[in-house]
Amino acid sequence: MNIKLIQLQKLLSKLTLTSVCLIAFLATGCKKNEASQSNASSTPKVSIVAAENFYGSVAQQIAGNSATVTSILDNPNQDPHEFTSDAATAKSVADADIVIYSGIGYDDWMEKLLAAQSKAGRVVVRVGDLIGATNGDNPHIWYDPRTMPALAAKLAEILKQPDNLAAFQKEMIAVTTKIAEIKSAHEGTTVTATEPVFGWMANALGFKTINNGFQWAVMNDTEPSFSQTADFEKSLRDKTVKILFYNRQVTDPTTERMLKLAQESGVPVVGTTETQPPDAKDYVDWMLSELNATEAALTENH
């Protein structure tokens, strides 16, 4: 009996030692795991600043949770041509790891901020360069179907996010498909606009855009000539044009008069904007909304 008792005590001793070791191992493992999670959560995110919110929208889709994105121009009631930077804008740009802007004369204020404040390692993406656009071209390049895929690919390369790029490209198929459908049914349709905001997309749709001199005068904040205004009014009264693309974001008495004349003449009006509207989920959603409105206007004309 004494021998058996001694053996039992030894066995219990071993089991106790094993339990202690196991508890110690688990505790150490938990601490390591907690430390790992702490390190992961403390990893600083990439800071991206976009001059315009449509670039910010695409940047957020590509970056996912790896970055914080700040868009400077995001107010649908703000005239982008009248924007002036302030101290908060300057600080955002100064602290950014990646800066995105159009270039080609649209957002010169960003170039001035970049020139004034350098930062080691900062990456600057001038979107116009991605599609070969230059000063003198229509500056509203985000309506060009080539632009956002090019920007998304560039950001995916910088941020190493191929999966997010693939997801964005899949979403863009809806846009390119809708463009192809409208072009197939309505190529050669004559349209006009108060400004050349929708110009790149109108070209992609195969439309013939007239009254270009009037549009560029308004865009450059100059008064259209008498003949330009007269030709514009005639195209609306005669219904030579099948759609008026109206910049809802930048208006003046002259453009408002053209809007009223289009409505009186029965010319369908499609509203456009220079920033992504707050009710749009993302860039693709915004473009589809405007393409659907364009298709509906063309259907109204037939």
CA distance 99 to 110: 9
Per-residue DSSP letter, 65: G
173-300 CATH choice from 3.40.710.10, 3.40.640.10, 3.40.50.150, 3.40.50.1980: 3.40.50.1980
Q: What is the pLDDT of residue 182?
A: 98
Residue 138 has pLDDT above 60, yes or no: yes
What order do you get walking across the sheet with 190-193 strand by strand?
208-209, 190-193, 244-247, 269-272
Domain range annotation of the chain: 46-169, 173-300
What is the residue-averaged pLDDT of the chain? Answer: 88
Range list of H helices, the chain: 2-41, 53-63, 87-95, 108-116, 127-130, 147-159, 162-186, 199-204, 212-219, 226-237, 253-265, 283-300
Are 244 and 299 spatial neighbours (Cβ–Cβ below 8 Å)? Answer: no
Q: Three-class SS of residue 124?
A: strand
Q: Which residue has the higher pLDDT, 83 or 206?
A: 206
Residue 268 has pLDDT above 50, yes or no: yes
Residue 288 has pLDDT above 50, yes or no: yes
Residue 276 has pLDDT above 60, yes or no: yes
Tens digit of pLDDT for each residue in 20-41? 444 444 444 444 454 444 444 5
CATH architecture, domain defined by 46-169? 3-Layer(aba) Sandwich (3.40)
Q: What is the pLDDT of residue 56?
A: 98
Residue 150 has pLDDT above 80, yes or no: yes
Tens digit of pLDDT for each residue in 155-212? 999 999 999 999 999 999 999 999 999 999 999 999 999 999 999 999 999 999 999 9
Are 50 and 101 spatial neighbours (Cβ–Cβ below 8 Å)? Answer: yes
In terms of Cα–Cα distance, which of 166, 156, 169, 147 is closest to 48? Answer: 156
* Confidence label for 42 from pLDDT (cuts 50, 70 and 90): low
Tens digit of pLDDT for each residue in 214-241? 999 999 999 999 999 999 999 999 999 9
CA distance 246 to 256: 9
pTM for the full predicted model: 0.84
Residue 72, H or E segment:
strand 67-73
Domains 46-169 and 173-300 share a fold: yes
Q: What is the pLDDT of residue 264?
A: 97
In terms of Cα–Cα distance, which of 241, 238, 250, 296 is closest to 275? Answer: 250
Radius of gyration of the chain (CA): 29
